[in-house]
Amino acid sequence: MGRLRAAARGLRRTGSGSAAAAAGDSRKGASPRGGNLARPPALHRFGDPIEIDALRGRLLAWYDKSRRDLPWRTLAAAEPDADRRAYAVWVSEIMLQQTQVATVIDYYNRWMQKWPTLQALAAASLEEVNELWAGLGYYSRGKRLQEAARKVVLELSGRMPRTAKDLQKLLPGVGRYTAGAIASISFGQATGVVDGNVTRVLCRLRCIGADTSSLAVTDCLWNMADALVDRSRPGDFNQALMELGATVCTPKSPLCGECPVKEHCHAWHRVEKELASASQKLFAKPTPVPDVEDCGIGGCPLCPPAAEPWDSSLGVTNFPRKAVRKQPRVERTATCVLERRGRLGAPEYLIVQRPSSGLLAGLWEFPSLPLAPGLQEEQQKEVLADHLRAWMGRPLQTQSLCFVGEVVHIFSHIHQTYAVYSLCLDGDVALDTASSPSRWVTEEEFRASAVSTAMKKVLKVREIQRGEQSSCAKVSSVHRAALCCAEAARTWGCTGSSPAWSTDLCLAGSVYGSPNTRNPPHH
């Protein structure tokens, strides 16, 4: 049998001291039903050192030719200082968590320009960090990154930990994946990484269809990643595996024909086997069919559940199976855009700072408060008016609150709807800042402040409303001018149908004075 069969069966042999042992090790003595196997079945692991070497070579050759030109890769490759190199990688890995590469690039460039070293970041204020991070989401990441940078500078003499174990142990906010990425890319430690992209690639390579959050699958994937990582180029190998998942082995419509490691992919071979079988039936002649063994273990914690059998229409995207997501909780919040006329006539807005912990910690927002379920619009206005009244220290009628509209924003675990109101204030107002810091800002200052994307949406709907109100006011003004000119025409004895008396002239005539001046334009 060929190399693939050897790969599928290789680790059944005992006494192997090769990398395959690392690929298959898990907690000893656990039963399949108990969540772990002493060793995963051959279908779900790499057992042939020759195959592992071949996979490494093919993947690295593809990466050298096809990798994307990304600023953190360029910076890390050119930086001779190990600590600065590790910092550059660290920032990118934190920003890339749950965030697309295209979104991160601009934030990363601005961040590294402003704080090119750990020391520069440690000296910054949290307000500055939040301002630059605003719009990137998951705002606690920036705060934890700065806290960890300060720890490196103040407690570790500015020297980054050199191993994945120490990085994870000593730096707040650095988990197993981030530690592995920094250690392998910056310091050349031969340690694997497992993120969403790597999970997808490995699950397809070895037909792992169980819940990827289960302990059995997690252990298997990390062991496999550690076994596969190239010892001479660990950082490049890990980035290549992630690059493959991001650009070729994608969640939907994967480009299997372009995959450099498809020959090692059990999911792809299963698809090929089905196509060959279908062709054989269609033409009624024998066709070579790739051999893909079944797992052979009843109740295997790595196989898809029995209730979710292989779906031929999905092909390799049968793996990994999507975990059932918890539905986000639904919340409503009343938000008031308080504004006044600034010194130069432009509007200024009042923003207040959120608490230093919890959702959107330390960010600025328009005055807001959570709403109880089921409140009608008038009830919403009443509770918002009470909130603003106590805060402003003066009477406030609910009729003065103008409903603007609703803004929906989806956080990772919250489906948030903002009921937006506006309130224009005459003159200055003495504000009670005991509950939280507050300040008046122009539109430009607002956009430069540490405000969430949700609040930017709130301001946008208010600006749209103001534009509509301005248009209505202009229409009313033109209508009044037209009535005035019509009266002038009657006074001068003119008609709108006269060849010498156009509507434009009639409207423009109002600038010459009122009809009572008896001094009409010449026509």
How far are the Cα atoms of 81, 201, 313 from residue 279, in angstroms, in the given order?
58, 28, 16
Helix ranges restricted to H, 393-511: 443-448, 453-492, 503-508
- Sort 280 into a burial class: Cβ within 10 Å, 0-12 / 13-18 / 19+: middle
Pair 403, 317: CB distance under 8 Å: no
Q: Please name which of 392, 68, 404, 85 lies closest in space to residue 240, comparing C-alpha atoms.
A: 68
Q: Which of 93, 243, 348, 365 is catalytic?
A: 93
Distance CA 221, CA 229 (A): 12
Interatomic CA distance for residues 493 and 487, integer angstroms: 10
CB-based contact 351:439 (threshold 8 Å): yes
Strand stretches in 146-289, DSSP E: none
Greatest Cα pair distance, the chain, in angstroms, is 114
| DSSP H or E stretch at residue 148 | helix 140-155
Helix (H, G, I), strand (E, B) or coil at 60: helix
**Two tokens, residue 389:** 């009244």
* 127 in catalytic set: no
196-205 vs 234-247: helix crossing angle, rounded to 10: 80
- 3-state secondary structure string across 284-344: CCCCCCCCCCCCCCCCCCCCCCCCCCCCCCCHHHHCCCCCCCCCCEEEEEEEEEEEEECCC
Comparing CA positions, the residue from 92, 52, 55, 50 lying closest to residue 71 is 92
Q: Are 210 and 216 in contact (CB under 8 A)?
A: yes
Residue identified by tokens 């919040």 is 333
Residue 351 structure tokens: 């923003």
The C-alpha atoms of residue 396 and residue 400 are separated, in whole angstroms, by: 7
Among residues 139, 144, 143, the alpha carbon closest in space to that of 454 is found at 139
Whether residue 259 contacts residue 241, with contact meaning beta carbons closer than 8 Å, is answered with no
Q: Residues with catalytic annotation?
A: 93
